[in-house]
Structure 1
Amino acid sequence: MERLRAIYGVAVVGIAMGALLHVGNRNKKLRGGKLHYACIYGSAVDVISCLNNGIDVEPQDCEGWTPLLVVAKMGRADIVKILLDHGANIEARTPKGSTSLKLAAMGGHFAVARLLLEADAATDTPGHDGYTPLLNASKHGHTAIVKLLLQYGANINDQSHDGITALNFACELGEVDLAVSLLEGKANVNLPDKDGWDPLMCAALKGHREIARVLLKYGADVNAKGPQQATSLRIASEYGHGGVVKLLLDADALIDEPCSDGKTPLYAAAKMGHNDIVQLLICRGADPNRQTCTGSTALIAAAMYNRLEPLRILIDHGADVDLEDSCGWTVLSMAYFSGYPQLVQLILERRPAMMRDIGDAASEDQIEDKTDPILICRRHDLIISS
């Protein structure tokens, strides 16, 4: 088309587009009329030619998109300016409720966003998804556009239908510069979404240590509780983010704070087999014998999930091997009936007194409790030494 224009001028382009539009009635890829086609496939000259020849600036294609919406999504700043200069409706929306500014923010098209804002586009208009331009820009990590929107008065604490904020998105993505920009703009550092996740919890979940550090610097509540009453420390411990765990402990996170089912950070780390976190929590004073709502302990959880090293660490730091849960399970019975002989051996090696008791015990058929440690040891065919 550029070659045609160079040889024959602008008029022939219009003829070519007209021919293509005739075919386009049966072509789903060609959704609109001449102006849409010029905006998508042509140049600024083609668009001006269409407008100067009386084509309406506001036609909708078969999906309800105006030319301005189309080029805003594409990032064609030169054509956006032409359409605005010819009176295009800056607040037109797609069938899903997105404005041109929202589309530009989503796509990271800074020049387009700036043109729209300079033309007084509304900054906080949400789409049907509840996302404003600021939320869309934050969700996709477009820091420059976030800063631009804030300069033009966007509400920094806008929330989606799910209560998600721009800061939540920054923390999930690990975008430090974006998070700092929002916090410097007075974003609410402790504002949770509708499920209870605040920014620090989002950072803890993803293991973004530097984001967590910044949040704490700006006043994040280290002991706030989220879903199932879990703290950020509980979340970081479960997902194995040792650097975040250490940072939170240094910020005075409550080390034994349980969630709604009574499971502590230590329980979560032991269950998931995060050896370094188990060691760190124990060394910082976590209670190895803290019981959940069902009486389980970190030690029993380690046995249930075949976590050899956490089990070793816990026993060596005073975990009680005789504690029972509400169903009568001890760490030894759990290890045995879960089919983990290595764990059984380790438990008995760490409890020589239990080994000595076996020799003086009653015969197997006299033991009523089939989870009794003595019975387990005999069935395990352990060698009993004096």
Structure 2
Amino acid sequence: MANKNKPVMINRAQNHVGFSWKDAEVLRDGICVLQMLDEMKRWAPVYWGPRKELRIAGLAPCTCYDFRIKPEDGQDWIRFKGATLDGPYLAMHMTRAIKFGKTPLIRKIAHARSLLLEVENKDMKTPLVQAIDKNDPALVNLLITLGANVNTASHYTRRTPLMAAVALGHLSVASLLIDKGCSVNATDINGLNVLHYAVDSNNLDSVEFVLKQGLHVDAQDSSGWTPLMRAAILSCGNEIVDVLLQNGASKTIEDKNGFNFDKHRELARL
């Protein structure tokens, strides 16, 4: 197709682009079908109908998009591109860039608004925790290099990136965080430390990993529960109980209700 038959961009902004194809000979009569290549590299429907101009909204700033259009009864798609303008980035833009591993965009957002490296998204997760969820050490390392703080805890829960990594069993990421200087002694809003999180995950590898970091094996949370008590309360596997005992965990410490490990195990079996 000649270029004159392609839609032309008539306006654009930070989050939308507008096209017209009223002067494109093969498109100006009848109904047209318009699609956009989405972030999963799939052609997604955008419009079907008789209009000859369209504004496509909800796009990311400073991003080039691929489109295609054809008459409803036509066989050949006409491909074209459209790019949004640069502008103020939001947490949603960083979240989307991390979700799809768009490292150039992550860099661009971080350089334009470094504050967004510490801002939580709607799921109350910072970019670093989002990368941890993906179990992507390279992405985690990139965010740290760009300025993400390895010790930034969740605003409400005070859960740290290391706690998130250990809870998911993403131990290569957890090891990277420790290498980058994260604290292994932090506690969340309920007094849980990273060993409590490891036990709660019911993942023996996570428990063994954390024990190697030298944490106090009988640390108590705000309810007075030690990691060993939590293993009983949550009915964790016997191998987790055994490794805690082998590392010096006490069965006799009592929580705020006066219950010890044996009492909690008894209650859990009822």
Compute the TM-score of the two structures, normalised by the length of structure 2: 0.69
Check conservation: 1:75, 1:104, Cα contact below 8 A: no
Letter matched to residue 218 of structure 1: L
Give the deviation of 1:47 after TM superposition. Answer: 2.6
For the 8 Å contact 2:65–2:81, the answer to whether it is kept is no
Question: 5 Å matches for 1:1-386?
Answer: 45-49=25-29, 71=34, 74=45, 83=52, 88=53, 99-102=55-58, 109-110=65-66, 116-117=82-83, 149=84, 152-155=85-88, 157-158=89-90, 164-176=91-103, 178-183=105-110, 186-188=113-115, 189-193=117-121, 196-226=124-154, 227-307=156-236, 308-339=238-269
**1:110 partner letter:** D
Q: Distance in 1 between matches of 2:29 and 2:216?
A: 77
Q: 1:334 to 1:174 in 2, by over 3 A?
A: farther
SS in 1 for 2:199: helix
- Superposition deviation, residue 222 in structure 1: 0.9
Aligned CA distance change for structure 1 residues 179 and 312 (closer, same or farther; 3 Å)? farther
- Structural RMSD (CA): 3.5
| Amino acid across the alignment from 2:162 | L
Counterpart secondary structure, 1:311: helix
Structure with larger Rg: 1
* Distance (Å, rounded) in 1 between the aligned partners of 2:164 and 2:110: 23
Work out whether residues 234 and 264 of structure 1, in 8 Å CA contact, stay in contact via their aligned partners in 2: yes
**Residue 251 of structure 1, CA deviation:** 1.5
For residues 104-132 of structure 1, the C-alpha deviation after alignment (integer angstroms, 9 at most, x for no partner) is: 99xx8425797554xxxxxxxxxxxxxxx
Rounded to whole Å, the distance in 1 between the matches of 2:189 and 2:239 is 27
| Residue type of the alignment partner of 1:315 | L
Q: Structure 1 residues 285 and 337 mapped into 2: Cα distance closer, same or farther (>3 Å)? A: same
The normalised TM-score by structure 1 is: 0.50
> What is the CA–CA distance in structure 2 between the aligned matches of 1:205 and 1:277, rounded to whole Å?
15
- If asked which structure has higher relative contact order (CA below 8 Å, sep 6+), I would say 2
Percent of counterpart pairs with the same letter? 21
SS at match of 1:71: strand
Q: Which has the higher strand share?
A: 2
Secondary structure of 1:110's aligned partner:
strand
